[in-house]
Amino acid sequence: EVQLVQSGAEVKKPGESLKISCQASGYKFTDYWIGWVRQMPGKGLEWVGVIYPDDSDIRYGPSFQGQVNISVDKSIDTAYLQWSSLKASDTAMYYCARPTSGWWFDLWGRGTLVTVSS
Amino acid sequence: YELTQAPSVSVSLGQTATINCSGDNLGKKFAFWYQQRPGQAPVLVIYQNAKRPSGIPDRFSGSNSGQTATLIIRGTQAMDEADYYCQTWDGNAGVFGGGTKVTVL
């Protein structure tokens, strides 16, 4: 089955670091881009960024450049979204999703809820 | 690049819902549409302006011209009550519209 399985919910304090994961299965990981979408509580979808696993080419959304780091581990078909110092405003649901070559997302994970609170 | 959607649309059961998404020369790009029901991940309903993925009912249709992309839901059912987001690619990154909440009366 083609799917994206995301890591579980996280509760962190401001200033802490975090790395959430998304493991792909059912397709060749290095043939597709993979990316992240943010949804803050009660708000809309925001395009965080995407990475091409074969060469680690990354495209960040303008609001997220320098705020997060996207990476992959090809050996385990897994993509990551990482923060070095979390803020309360990072509290959101983060979806892993697979874009096609035409840049629409045809496959989504169930989401990872990140809560940042002192 | 920005995409603008009306925050909400109401439609009577069985009638037609029209959801617009506007952006500068959006008609020269491809538009995509996602449905998100409460507590669920988004689902692609339209890609490349007017194409439906496998499994999406044919009551969903799309168009894109000029400054506006449009998602139409004909014969709206109660299960279509959800948030709908447009998206495009601006050459460097993807962009989502703010979303439209469709309420079925």
Structure confidence by residue, pLDDT tens digits, A17-29? 999 999 999 999 9
pLDDT category of residue A6 using cuts at 50, 70 and 90: very high
pLDDT category of residue B91 using cuts at 50, 70 and 90: confident
**Total Cβ atoms within 10 A of residue A48:** 24
Lookup result for tokens 């840049």: A103
Give mean pLDDT, residues A3-25: 98
Give mean pLDDT, residues A1-21: 98
Q: B-chain residues within 8 Å CB-CB of A100?
A: 47
CA–CA separation, B84 and A86 (whole Å): 29
B32-78 pLDDT per residue, tens: 999 999 999 999 999 999 999 999 999 999 999 999 999 999 999 99
Alpha helices in A33-118 (DSSP H): none
Phi, psi for residue B67 in degrees, rounded to 5? -100, -5
Query: What pLDDT, on the 0 to 100 scale, is given for residue A101?
Result: 86
**For residue B103, pLDDT beyond 90:** yes
Identify the bridge partners of residue B73 per DSSP, sorted by sequence position: B17, B60
Positive or negative: CA dihedral A84, A45, A94, A73: negative
B13-24 pLDDT per residue, tens: 999 999 999 999
CA–CA separation, B105 and B92 (whole Å): 40
Query: What pLDDT, on the 0 to 100 scale, is given for residue A95?
Result: 98
pLDDT category of residue A50 using cuts at 50, 70 and 90: very high
Strand pairing category for B82-89 and B100-104: antiparallel
A77 in the Ramachandran plot: left (φ > 0), alpha (ψ -120 to 50) or beta? left
Chain B CA closest to residue A103: B89
Query: What pLDDT, on the 0 to 100 scale, is given for residue A16?
Result: 98
CA–CA separation, B49 and A115 (whole Å): 35
Query: What pLDDT, on the 0 to 100 scale, is given for residue A107?
Result: 97
**For residue A69, pLDDT beyond 90:** yes
Q: Do B93 and A95 touch (CB under 8 A)?
A: no
Query: What pLDDT, on the 0 to 100 scale, is given for residue A20?
Result: 98
Helix, strand, coil percentages in chain B from 3-state DSSP, rounded to 5:
5, 50, 45
**For residue A44, pLDDT beyond 90:** yes
Q: Chain B residues contacting A, CB < 8 Å?
A: 30, 32, 34, 36, 41-44, 47-48, 53, 83, 85, 87-89, 92-99
| Tokens found for residue B32 | 């995509």
Amino acid at position A45, single letter: L
**For residue A52, pLDDT beyond 90:** yes
Query: What pLDDT, on the 0 to 100 scale, is given for residue B92?
Result: 86
Contacts of B34 (CB under 8 A, 6+ apart): A45, A105, B42, B43, B44, B45, B84, B85, B87
**For residue A102, pLDDT beyond 90:** no
CA–CA separation, B37 and A94 (whole Å): 16
User: What is the percent of chain A with per-residue pLDDT over 90, rounded to a whole number?
Assistant: 96
Chain B CA closest to residue A4: B41
The shortest CB-CB distance from A44 to any of B48, B85, B93 is to: B85
**For residue A93, pLDDT beyond 90:** yes
Cα B89 to Cα A82, A101, B30, B96: the distances in Å are: 24, 11, 7, 9
Identify the bridge partners of residue A23 per DSSP, sorted by sequence position: A5, A78
The shortest CB-CB distance from B96 to any of A46, A99, A109 is to: A46
